[in-house]
Amino acid sequence: MSFLKNILWKIKRAIIIFLIFLLIVSVIYVVIVVRAGSRVSKFSAIIDSDAGNGVSDLLAISRVLADPGFEVIGLTSAQWNQHREAAENTVDLSQNLGDTLLKLFRRENIPHPRGGEKMIGYFNEPITQGSEAAEFIVKKAHEGSKDKKLNIITLGPMTNLATAILMDSTIIPNLRVYSLAMDYDPKTNVWNKNEFNVRNDLDALDLILNTDKLEMHIMPASISKELVFGEDETVDLMKHKGVPWDFLIDRWQEKSKGGKELIVSDVALIEAILKPDFVKEEQTNTPPENRNRRVYVYTLIKKEFMKIDYWKAIKKYISDNT
C-alpha cells in the first residue's frame, strides 16, 4: 500500500512540475510577443528625403503616412546631385514626388518646404544653401526644447539640416537626428564614408559629426541593406489596393529596370525608430577624422520582424480606407 502511495505521489509531483514548466514557458512567450509588438507610443518628426532618386524613400514615407501614431511635422526635400542619373535640378524631383505622395494620401496639410539645390560646400568656411527647408527646421527647433527635442529623420544627404545649424547654432540642443549614412563595422568599430548619401554632401555630414551636443542616431547602409523587399510580394500586396499603392508600384517598376528585389534602407531606419525592439543600438565614437564625440549607431536589425511589421501596417491602412 505504501509502495502505491509513493508511486502516486511521484506522479503527482511530476504533474505539478510539468504544469509549472508550462506556466513559465507561457509567461516567456507572452513577454516575447509583447516586446516584439511594442513601439514608441507617439512619435513626431520632420522627414528630410531625397525621394526623387528611387522608390525606397517613398515606401518609407508611406509607412509613416499610414500610421496614425506617427505625426509628420513636415516633409522636406533634399538634393542628390551626385547620382549617376541626376537631373539638372534634383531637389525639384524630390519636391514633386513628395507633393504627389502627400496628395495621394490626402495629407496636403503637412508642410512640404523645398530644400537647397547644392551641397553646402567648403571654401575656407562653409557656404550655406539657404532654403525653405532649412528655415522650417530652424523654426520648428525653436518650438522645442532640451527636454522636448525636435526629431529629424534624414533619408538622404544632410544638406538641409547642416544649413539650418549654420543659420542658427542655438537650435543644436533642441535637436535629435536620425540619419541613414555611412557604413560601419561593429566588430572593428570602423566607419566608411564611401556611401551614397554621404557622397551627395560630405561636408554636411562632417559638419553634423563635428557638432558637439547634437544627439545623433545613425543607421549605416551596411546594416540597413539587409532589409530587402521582393517585387512579386510587393506587387501582390499593393497593386489595385488604392491610388497611392498603384503609384508606388508604378514607381518601383520604373526605377527597378527589371530587378526583382529592392534594398529598402529607408524603411529600415523608420522601422528602427518605431520598433526599438527590432534593432540593436550602441554608442560609439565618431570617425577619427571628426571631432571625438559619442553617437548612437544601429549595429543589428531583425529584418524579418521589420518586414512583417511594415506589411501589417500597410494592410491595416488599406483595410481601414477601402
Does residue 259 lie in a domain region?
A: yes
Does residue 26 lie in a domain region?
A: no
* Residue pLDDT, tens place only, 11-43: 777 677 766 766 665 545 444 444 445 555 689
Q: Please state the pTM of the whole predicted model.
A: 0.86
Give the structural domain span for 129. 40-320
Cα Rg of the chain (Å, integer): 23
Q: Is the pLDDT of residue 315 over 70?
A: yes
Does residue 200 lie in a domain region?
A: yes
Does residue 127 lie in a domain region?
A: yes
What is the mean pLDDT of the segment spanning 258-270?
92
pLDDT at 31: 46
Strands 261-263 and 228-230: antiparallel
C-alpha 158: how far from chain center: 14
pLDDT at 312: 96
Does residue 32 lie in a domain region?
A: no
CATH number of the domain encompassing residue 270: 3.90.245.10
Bridge partners for 284 per DSSP: 295
Does residue 261 lie in a domain region?
A: yes
Distance from C-alpha of 28 to C-alpha of 30, rounded to nearest angstrom: 5
pLDDT at 39: 53
Q: Is the pLDDT of residue 68 over 70?
A: yes
Does residue 8 lie in a domain region?
A: no
Does residue 18 lie in a domain region?
A: no
Count: domains in the chain: 1
Distance from C-alpha of 220 to C-alpha of 102, rounded to nearest angstrom: 27
